[in-house]
Chain A
Amino acid sequence: MKKLRNMNPAVRTNFLTYAAVLLAFAILQPMSMAGKLSPTLQGQLVPVCAYVVMALSLNLTVGVLGELSLGHAGFMSVGAFSGAVAASALQNAIPSAWLRLTVAMLIGALFAGMVGTLISVPVLRLNGDYLAIVTLAFGQIIKSIVENLYVGVDGKGLHMSFLQPTVKLGEGGRMILNGPMGIPNISKISTFLAGFVLIMVTLAVIFNLVNSRSGRAIMALRDNRIAAESVGINVTKYKMMAFVISAALAGAAGALFALGQNTIVASKFDFNTSILILVYVVLGGQGKMWGSILAASFLTILPETAMMRDLRDYRMLAYAIVLILVMLATNSPVLKNFFGKLLRGKDEAKKGGVK
């Protein structure tokens, strides 16, 4: 315990974050295996993991890089559809569900990263709030593209058509993605264990990035772009680095999410979903990774709890009020002081870093 106290505050927080996630997994996984969890919670394990990774990756853009992104669900969508199409197409080639899920997540991350690179090249050269507006538009564009995309697979490989379902498939061919109807028959291969591993990988990527030379450059850009530029930091390069990593992680989360659902449609990943994830980040605290994990799990599980379900028509109203209360409470100086006293010594956590 003493050793923990004397640690560098940033390292200590990182360590505690890993430990908390591990602990949560160590408690939930045996319960899940033994069937002790309620059916609702059991069904939410994978989506919660996906939303946690989404919140963490957005926190990299919003909290660490300091740019507002309103189209994060777009990256999730790219990852979800590319990952699910890949998993479906590789059904026979890779019989092992584990391997298929890993490949699907990697493909999801790759595609989302590519799309992230593509849009960041022109966008990140701009200053100010333009990024927020363009990412907003980007989310809509992705939705429209996926809604008009038809993908089928036969013996010869993947076939695509755009706007009209004119895919010509050979013997034994089948449609995977049906435009606006999405993918109706996903075989669920995502597991809670996979979700846990993805969260740990995401944390490792983000913590290592933030504590590296590049990470310090990214945070310098956030704190004062002009000063950072004047000491020779390449603005576009470091902004892009954070943005693309964030997009790729969101893509992996999208693949995890999609492969834990029976069906996905493009309209699922709309503006509302982007805002929802932004809410997780803001509520948990910008730059605070443990906050994002907590907020994402809490806010995903909350509306589905038996207590909230019993409120019937007033469920979403109560949800909104809880949200406001949490916002007020976390910003109240009284409560801040109270928690500060509880965790004395911790409140000196260095400013500006990942807290």
Chain B
Amino acid sequence: MKKRIFALTMAAVMTVGLLSGCGGGATETKAPSPEGNGAAAIKIGGVGPLTGGAAIYGNAAARGAEIAKDEINAANPDGLQIELRYEDDAHDAEKSVNAYNTLKGWGMQVFLGSVTSTPGVATSVEANNDHVFYLTPSASSTDVLGGVANPLTGTVDIQRKDNVFQMCFVDPNQGSASAQYITDQNLGSKIAVIYKNDDVYSTGVYNSFDAKAKELGLNVVSVTTFTEDTKTDFSVQLSDAKNAGADLVFLPMYYDAAALIFTQANAMGYAPKWFGIDGMDGILGVEGFDTSLAEGVMLLTPFNADAEDEATKNFVKTYQDKYSEVPNQFAADAYDCVYAIYEALNKAGITADMSAGDICDKLMSEFTSMTFNGLTGEGMTWDDTGAVTKSPKGMVIQNGAYVGMD
């Protein structure tokens, strides 16, 4: 009996200690209150998986945005300041709406959207209903934007949400661009595809790749799938590709699964050419991964952490100093998002006391007319569909580094 009371008391004390400990950390992450000149801060919110299986993407985006916010606030002490807040959705549509509502209660004026696609579909509907400007760094599904015809039926299932814009490539563009690239460069005669069929991103890219490959007459000899539950063993998929004699394997997926595929293919002595998309970016940073296995992997990506230009170098350095890891394209996309929004805010003459709805109207007209230069592309433009126009860079991994290919 006494023991139990003791245990309870101890647990209570520990919780209190923990909570008070966290309290300090929590206040720290809040944006500094704007000083001088009476310039108030504009509240920008974002939602992403900061915990759970997809946490690497959410955290990367939140960190990229955080760096952009810090830079902007430091560079414009007298101008418009930004307050940034990221909320966790654990890559779940239901929780992302909760997170969005939390931000709404906080007084968010501009929304950085969801980091991942499925939650993005849910939050974009909410933001559209509330008329809050929405620019997602990386939710690439066309369902987020709406207004795009379903490739199966040719009908538009989701109406265009006019205040929603994307910073990343939309999935179908990546798939068809990859098929086009493979054909143009004559990279393979027999092509295998492995994709993750419970993932909106992977499936979306595959469907458009498939359509374009048929149109171009690519010889696709093997198509295999995996899911979240089976992403540890690829022997079946690789054997299928090997037996079909594929000399190029297209991998529309994120780099964590791809790292395992390279390792397992190496173990079974299968060495085709590999072709990836922007999700492959980051593979060289996987812990415990032998980067020599990724030698010769080709990928289409908008961002390259090894690029020599000044902006990328600075960003990579700041990111490394702060978080001791190399930023991936999620971080770069979120960084660009904050800068693009800030540029548009200033151009439209928006002040922090405006309502979210008024800001949304102005940003919508600003975004469809402006040209933006960022880390993930030069001369980016947006049109009424909400999709960004920028050209993917073809990269190949050589000697453990990304090198541009022509």
Nearest neighbor of B50 in chain A, beta-carbon distance: A313
Contacts of A312 in B (CB 8 A): 22, 25-26, 29
CB pair A165 B97 closer than 8 Å: no
Q: Give min CB distance, B280 to chain A, whole Å.
A: 20
A122 contacts chain B at the CB level, 8 A cutoff: no
Residues from 237 to 270 in B contacting A, C-beta threshold 8 Å: none
Bound CA–CA A40/B207 (angstroms)? 36
Bound CA–CA A47/B157 (angstroms)? 25
Write the A286-313 contact mask toward B (1 if CB under 8 angstroms, else 0).
0000000000000000001010011111
Nearest neighbor of B130 in chain A, beta-carbon distance: A39
Write the A244-276 contact mask toward B (1 if CB under 8 angstroms, else 0).
000000000000000001111111100000000
Binds A, one of B12-20, B290-298, B312-320, B393-401: B12-20
Bound CA–CA A321/B102 (angstroms)? 22
Bound CA–CA A172/B157 (angstroms)? 10
Contacts of A184 in B (CB 8 A): 121, 143, 157-158
Binds B, one of A18-26, A189-197, A203-211, A328-336: A328-336
Bound CA–CA A321/B11 (angstroms)? 8
A181 contacts chain B at the CB level, 8 A cutoff: yes
Bound CA–CA A314/B94 (angstroms)? 20
Residues from 351 to 365 in B contacting A, C-beta threshold 8 Å: none
Bound CA–CA A15/B360 (angstroms)? 50
A324 contacts chain B at the CB level, 8 A cutoff: yes
How many chain A residues touch the partner (CB < 8 A)? 56
A102 contacts chain B at the CB level, 8 A cutoff: no
Q: Give min CB distance, B153 to chain A, whole Å.
A: 5
B200 contacts chain A at the CB level, 8 A cutoff: yes
Nearest neighbor of A148 in chain B, beta-carbon distance: B197
Contacts of A263 in B (CB 8 A): 93, 118, 121-122, 125, 143
Bound CA–CA A180/B206 (angstroms)? 13
Q: Give min CB distance, A155 to chain B, whole Å.
A: 12
Nearest neighbor of B120 in chain A, beta-carbon distance: A263
**Known contacts A172-B155, A173-B153, A325-B12; A318/B19 CB under 8 A:** yes
Bound CA–CA A150/B150 (angstroms)? 13
CB pair B153 A169 closer than 8 Å: yes
A4 contacts chain B at the CB level, 8 A cutoff: no
Write the A30-51 contact mask toward B (1 if CB under 8 angstroms, else 0).
0000000011101110010000
Total A-B pairs, Cβ < 8 A: 148
Q: Give min CB distance, A287 to chain B, whole Å.
A: 24
Binds A, one of B2-10, B31-39, B173-181, B185-193: B2-10
Q: Pick from A40, A315, A318, A334: contact of B5, CB below 8 A.
A: A334
Q: Give min CB distance, A327 to chain B, whole Å.
A: 10
Nearest neighbor of A333 in chain B, beta-carbon distance: B1
CB pair B8 A329 closer than 8 Å: yes
Bound CA–CA A348/B395 (angstroms)? 74
Bound CA–CA A172/B150 (angstroms)? 12
CB pair B97 A43 closer than 8 Å: yes
Bound CA–CA A2/B89 (angstroms)? 49
Bound CA–CA A164/B181 (angstroms)? 26
Contacts of A42 in B (CB 8 A): 101
Q: Pick from B105, B153, B204: contact of A38, CB below 8 A.
A: B105
Q: Pick from B7, B19, B23: contact of A328, CB below 8 A.
A: B7
Write the A173-185 contact mask toward B (1 if CB under 8 angstroms, else 0).
1110011111011
Bound CA–CA A310/B51 (angstroms)? 15
CB pair B158 A266 closer than 8 Å: no
B75 contacts chain A at the CB level, 8 A cutoff: no
Q: Give min CB distance, B107 to chain A, whole Å.
A: 11
Q: Pick from A148, A173, A180, A329: contact of B200, CB below 8 A.
A: A180
Contacts of B122 in A (CB 8 A): 261-263
Residues of B at under 8 Å CB distance from A?
1, 4-5, 7-8, 11-12, 14-15, 18-19, 22-23, 25-26, 29, 50-51, 87-88, 92-94, 97-98, 101-102, 104-105, 118, 121-122, 125-126, 141, 143, 150, 152-153, 155, 157-158, 197-200, 203-204, 207, 227-229
7 nearest CB pairs, A to B: A39-B101, A262-B125, A180-B198, A262-B122, A184-B143, A40-B101, A39-B104
What are 29 A-B pairs with beta-carbon distances under 8 A? A39-B105, A43-B101, A44-B101, A140-B229, A144-B227, A147-B198, A152-B152, A167-B152, A172-B155, A174-B153, A175-B152, A180-B199, A180-B203, A181-B118, A181-B141, A261-B122, A262-B93, A263-B125, A266-B198, A306-B105, A312-B26, A313-B25, A314-B22, A317-B18, A321-B15, A328-B4, A328-B11, A332-B4, A333-B4
